[in-house]
Amino acid sequence: MGTERSFDTLSLTNQAVLLGVTELHRDDETPVQTHELRRVCDTRLEHVDTEVVGTITEADVMRSLYKLEDEGFVEEVEIDRTSPTGKGRPAYTLALAPDEVREGVDDALLEETD
């Protein structure tokens, strides 16, 4: 399945979100919900020298996660946490090896992250 994934089809925003999931996976903080992931992406992008992505909204993160899930980069998982309104929020975990992500994403997004 890993050979069918194509990083070429992912926008820089999608790649930034995927790197956020990868970072949280590495820190054993997945599954992750969109609001937590947005914060990680914003922090990560502060150190990246590219203006192509800009500020990522929670809606951007949700759209990216849907695309990443469709293409097999992340998986939606069930968790017991609910939002303040009592609704369940989707949570996501990495569906491939972190090294595979780091090798596939745009090099500009990897600056200042180690």
Q: Which pLDDT does position 17 carry in this prediction?
A: 94
Enumerate the domain spans of the chain: 2-110
The alpha carbon of residue 96 and the mean position of all alpha carbons in its chain are separated, in whole angstroms, by 12
CATH code at 2-110: 1.10.10.10
Is the predicted pLDDT of residue 2 greater than 50, yes or no?
no
pLDDT at site 74: 96
Task: Tell how far CA 34 is from the center of its chain.
Answer: 9
- Other CB atoms closer than 10 Å to residue 113's CB: what's the count? 12
**Contact yes or no for 70/19 (Cβ under 8 A):** no
Contact 24, 72 (CB under 8 A): no
Question: What average pLDDT score do residues 72-90 get?
Answer: 73
Classify the phi-psi angles of 72: left when phi > 0, otherwise alpha if psi is within -120 to 50, otherwise beta. left
